[in-house]
Amino acid sequence: MSLSVLDLAPISSGGTAGQALRDTIELARRAEEFGYARYWLAEHHFAPGVAGAAPAVLIGLVAAATATIRVGSGAVQLGHRTPVSVVEEFGIIDALHPGRLDLGIGRSGRRAAERGAERGAERGAERGAGRGAGPASAGPAGKEARVVDGLLIPPPFDWSRLAGIPRLAFQASLLQQPGAVTPDFADQVDELLALLGGTHEAHVTPGEGADVQVWILGSSGGQSARVAGERGLPFAANYHVSPSSVLEAVEAYREAFKPSDELAEPYVIVSADAVVAQDEARARELASPYGLWVRSIRTGAGAMPYPTPREAARHVWTEADRALVKDRIDTRFVGTPRAVAEGLRVLRRVTGADELLVTTITHDPADRVRSYELLAEAWESP
């Protein structure tokens, strides 16, 4: 199947991290039954509502609980890690579950260099706004949304809103040793590949020679997309968090691509948010807490425990609140199995994706399992 799962191990309001982790393992088992190709775990820190802070640990648990589905990271953040530590961790898992691991890597999202790349991508998105664009609507700061062959590309989110939050700078500092300087991302990727391939002057066991597929994840047409293309690695583009720049990211990757021993041609997976239920009203109800959850992230508080629809309904929304989350709300795929499958096929067609990486969050884990089940059935139907 050309659908895969991205899981954050969300903690529901009133729940615990332990229960969220058990729910993740159960969802992985069910996703394997439903026929999904991959099961990726995200890395999030300082988030009261997310239990997936250590992807390698959780990947090992998921791999042990499943048999055939590929398991991986979406993504390990190299901004505060060393290539050696990452290769050793995944080498241990591969030694026990050979041939099933995807090592998705990305840069830490809070470094100044990344913010500069994001701003550059936003400018590129503005310059390309007229190409193939359909009806437009006004967006934040006077920028406009566009529709490209049926796919909504919203105005870019202003990440500078988060740059001045002292709490985020403090938390980022805790992820590294005092005085540590992160090397250039391309250099880190090259070192990681050399360690895996045995061409590095240092040799790590386990890790060297591990049957691990390396992926690069990126949200813009910046360095991550170029590094993936130039090294002939598969690339994961981010529509569910940064929908405004997904087309630029995919285009930059393909333009930079050079064939490698890993890939003869570019290979792209694109992420998407989706909630599926048997009828439209139920799907909308299940998805209704999402805006409040995104707001908690974008105000710097960290992802909150995922609320119930009733809890979310009590929030009094301001215009500023709505503007803060509009791009994420407008680009979800929510509805009946057939409607969501059709929307995802538009995303795949417009981006040229080889696979789609679907993330679904609901307060009740049973609704999340059912959403993935209904989507798998609809996706496989003619």
pLDDT at 119 over 60: no
Rg (CA), the chain: 20
Specify the long-range contacts of residues 254-258, CB closer than 8 Å, at least 24 apart: 254/229, 254/352, 255/229, 256/225, 256/226, 256/228, 256/229, 256/230, 257/229, 257/230, 257/232, 258/229, 258/230, 258/231, 258/232
DSSP string of 244-299?
A: GGHHHHHHHHHHH----SS-SS--EEEEEEEEE-SSHHHHHHHHTTHHHHHHHHHT
Mean pLDDT of 276-285: 98
Instruction: State pLDDT tens for residues 335-349.
Output: 999 999 999 999 999
For residues 294 and 325, the answer to whether their CB atoms sit within 8 Å is yes
**Residues of the chain above pLDDT 70, percent:** 91
Instruction: State pLDDT tens for residues 12-31.
Output: 999 999 999 999 999 999 99
pLDDT at 330 over 80: yes
Q: Is 19 helix (H, G, I), strand (E, B) or coil?
A: helix
Taking the C-alpha atoms of residue 348 and residue 379, their distance in angstroms, rounded to an integer, is 12
Q: Please state whether beta strands 101-106 and 76-77 pair in parallel, antiparallel, or not at all (unpaired).
A: parallel
Instruction: State pLDDT tens for residues 140-184.
Output: 445 789 999 999 999 999 877 777 788 888 998 899 999 998 999
Q: Which of 188, 201, 233 is nearest to 81 (CA)?
A: 188
Q: Please report the pLDDT score of residue 109 as a whole number.
A: 54
215: part of which helix (H) or strand (E)?
A: strand 212-218
For residues 176 and 85, the answer to whether their CB atoms sit within 8 Å is no
List 356's β-bridge partners, or say none.
Answer: 3, 270
Contacts of 17 (CB under 8 A, 6+ apart): 11, 51
Helices and strands (DSSP H and E) totals, the chain: 15, 13
Query: Which structure tokens are listed for 245?
Result: 């720049």
DSSP state of 382: -
Q: Which of 58, 71, 75, 69 is nearest to 30 (CA)?
A: 69
Mean pLDDT of 229-237: 98
* Domains defined for the chain, CATH in brackets: 3-380 (3.20.20.30)
For residues 55 and 43, the answer to whether their CB atoms sit within 8 Å is yes
Taking the C-alpha atoms of residue 344 and residue 340, their distance in angstroms, rounded to an integer, is 6
Instruction: Output phi, psi for 346, to 5 deg.
Output: -65, -45
Instruction: Output phi, psi for 7, to 5 deg.
Output: -120, 135
pLDDT at 129 over 60: no
Taking the C-alpha atoms of residue 207 and residue 268, their distance in angstroms, rounded to an integer, is 25
Q: Is 137 helix (H, G, I), strand (E, B) or coil?
A: strand
For residues 200 and 227, the answer to whether their CB atoms sit within 8 Å is no
Q: Which of 331, 336, 334, 346 is nearest to 378 (CA)?
A: 336
End-to-end CA distance of the chain: 13
For residues 264 and 319, the answer to whether their CB atoms sit within 8 Å is no
**Residues of the chain above pLDDT 90, percent:** 84
pLDDT at 68 over 70: yes
For the chain, the average pLDDT equals 91
Taking the C-alpha atoms of residue 28 and residue 62, their distance in angstroms, rounded to an integer, is 7
Q: For residue 99, count other CB atoms closer than 10 A to its CB.
A: 10
The alpha carbon of residue 295 and the mean position of all alpha carbons in its chain are separated, in whole angstroms, by 17
